[in-house]
Structure 1
Amino acid sequence: MSTIEKALQKQREKNQQESAEQAQAETQDTAQASSSPAASATQETQPREQPAPAPAAPKALITIDQQELREKGLITDSTERQKIKDEFRYIKRKLLNNAFGQAAQNLENGNLVMVSSGKPNEGKTFISINLALSIALEQDKTVLLIDADVIRPSISAELNISPRKGLVEYLLGEVPNVSEVIYNTSISNLKIIPAGEPHHLTSELLASDKMRQLTQELANRYSDRMVIFDSPPLIEVNESQVLANLMGQALVVVEESQSKIADIQKAVDSLDEDLAIGFVINKAVQTQKDMYGYYGY
């Protein structure tokens, strides 16, 4: 073998040795990288499959005791004849006609009815509940009773409803959908939105844009449903006047021999002239004439 051939052979062997050493080094680097903290961190940040959210618990049905209703002088769903049924049958016919009958074409939001009074303790909650109970007796009508007197709520106490989220929580944004605070009751055609927990901005909530949006949703989305708002007195709470002007109808409760004409006039003057306004005389002394406690629009 010549000198040149020996030199070439030696160079080839050197090159093969260097290639083998380089390949071995790369293999070691790869192994170290796969076991390094950075690699582990990369592996740990791989997305993990999230568990499916648990389904929301169904809302508890509000049970309304018929015997308690009877004891409090409220309307029951029994077949027995009750004078109070006849009285509220007369009242609701006018309201239903304004909401769904011939008069409906002249009213905006006619299915929204505000029940209020000039001052407290004139019986507006008693009227609100009985009106809702009377409409619930209709075969083809559903009624939603809303305790909008968030300052002094009374409906839950009168119907023995346990505390739960209601109108206040919805207006504050704590409940995203109004359907979450609409509760079914043991009376098939009656649904209720309770007032909810007290809040320092309760008055302001009634005049909020969220309240305006709610009334529009109830008027349009539930246009076949009567909605009764048990509202704060018109004279004492300025926000009640704002709420009233979102309604289609207003029912002003007047306590016989107690309500002053000046207060009644002041309450009515605060209402929009486009509202259908009615009056109910409450706590009237019964006479032989048995006159109904409702007069004119």
Structure 2
Amino acid sequence: MSFSRNRHPIDRQRLQEKGMIVPGGPTTALLEEFRIVKREVLRKARENEQRDHATSAQRVLVCSPLPDEGKTFCATNLALAIAAEKDSEVLLVDADFAKPSVLSTLGLTSTGPGMMDALANPNIKVQDCVLATDVPGLWVLPAGNQSSTDSEFLSSNKTKTILDQLTAGAPHRMIIFDSPPALVASPAAELAKHVGQAIVVVRADKTGQSALEDALSLLSHCPDVKLILNGTNFSPSGRRFGSYYGYGS
């Protein structure tokens, strides 16, 4: 499936002010950290695809146990890092339907429909909701209009159909979902059923062990759950961003 080529400019000044990866900018410690993260994500995706021949291998869920732990920061930076790949492209999906923030993070505006509209309205094609950006290899799918039944729509059979459409004919396209925190909204647990990997963002000195364990339990439908430790000030290796751990089932 191909998307619109009408490119929307990313606000690079906004990204810089937020301390994020700036496309075309200098190499930073943050960029190097997300290069490490994306390399593991892409390696695992190719491994899963070769073994299982499943389209879910191209999908990655990014969430956190609780709010304000950095999930959108990590999801967006991971998407920007993958977009720089020569052999991959990426679709960043704002799946935080109650409190979407991907568009504002990137400095994008859209008055059109999004993922939830495509799920709720059979007359809306999901590919028509996708925004092209001026960053080569990066597309964005907005959350769409809010719904009090977002979890019910996600649990319907149409979800798999729409997600399969997003990667149809595009074997090198990765989909990154920025979902709501797992312990405060149900979409994360629903989306975990449709992805090959899930990344849980935990914040140093904030995320408690019990909250993390509860979040991992809710995401247990995903066969491969990893953690990103965000907001660290010290690492034995000298890295400034944090550490990357794996939980495999």
**TM-score, length-scaled by structure 1:** 0.74
Change (3 A) 1:59 1:81: closer
> In 1, are the aligned partners of 2:199 and 2:226 still within 8 Å (CA)?
yes
CA-to-partner distance for each residue in 1:34-58, whole Å, 9 max, x for gaps? xxxxxxxxxxxxxxxxxxxxxxxx7
C-alpha separation in 2, matches of 1:219 and 1:85: 26
Q: Which is worse superposed, 137-146 or 104-113? A: 104-113
Task: Report how far residue 274 of structure 1 moved.
Answer: 5.4
1:279 Cα deviation from its structure 2 partner = 0.5
- Can you give the 5+ residue segments of structure 2 that lack an aligned partner in the other structure? none
Which residue in 1 is equivalent to 2:45?
99
Distance 1:137 1:117 in 2: 25
Verify the 8 A CA contact 1:97 1:104 in the aligned structure 2. Answer: no
1:255 aligns to what?
203
Measure, in 2, the Cα distance between the counterparts of 1:112 and 1:260.
27
Deviation at 1:172, TM superposition (A): 1.3
Conservation of the 8 A alpha-carbon contact between 1:147 and 1:231: yes
| Helix, strand or coil at the partner of 1:296 | strand
- Report whether the alignment pairs 1:276 with 2:221: no
Q: How far apart are 1:160 and its partner, in Å?
A: 1.9
**Percent identity of equivalent pairs:** 33
Question: Which structure is higher in strand share?
Answer: 2
Aligned residue among 47, 58, 62 for 1:111: 58
Is 2:18 the counterpart of 1:72? yes
**One of 98, 105, 128 as aligned partner of 1:151:** 98
Specify the alignment match of 2:107 in structure 1.
Answer: 160
Question: Where does structure 1 lack aligned partners over 5 or more consecutive residues?
Answer: 1-57
Aligned to 2:164: 216
Partners of 2:5 and 2:150 in 1: CA distance: 24
Alignment pair present for 1:176 and 2:132:
no
- 1:33-87 Cα offsets, whole Å, 9 max, x none, are xxxxxxxxxxxxxxxxxxxxxxxxx775221022221121111122522110100
Structure 2 contact 194–222 (Cα < 8 Å) conserved: no
2:73 match: 126
Letter in 1 for 2:207: S
Structure (1/2) with the larger helix percentage = 1
Compare relative contact order (CA 8 Å, sep 6+) and give the higher one, 1 or 2: 2
Aligned-partner Cα distance in 2 for 1:81–1:216 = 34
- Aligned pairs for 1:1-12 (under 5 A) are none
Q: Do 1:151 and 1:203's aligned partners in 2 also have CA atoms closer than 8 Å?
A: no
- Indicate which of 141, 147, 155 corresponds to 1:199: 147
Cα deviation 1:93-146 (Å, max 9, x = unaligned): 11100112x454345411100001111111100000000000011112110000
Q: Choose which of 220, 238, 252 in structure 1 pairs with 2:186.
A: 238
Deviates more, 1:64-73 or 1:146-155: 64-73
Amino acid at match of 1:181: C
8 Å CA contact 1:171–1:211 kept in 2: the answer is: yes
User: Corresponding residue for 1:294?
Assistant: 244
2:177 to 226, 229, 233: 229
CA contact (8 A) 1:235 1:266 kept: yes
SS in 1 for 2:57: coil
Work out whether residues 169 and 175 of structure 1, in 8 Å CA contact, stay in contact via their aligned partners in 2: no
Alignment partner, residue 139 of structure 1: 86
**Aligned residue-pair number:** 239
Native 8 Å contact 2:192 2:222 kept in 1: no
Relative to the length of structure 2, the TM-score reads 0.88
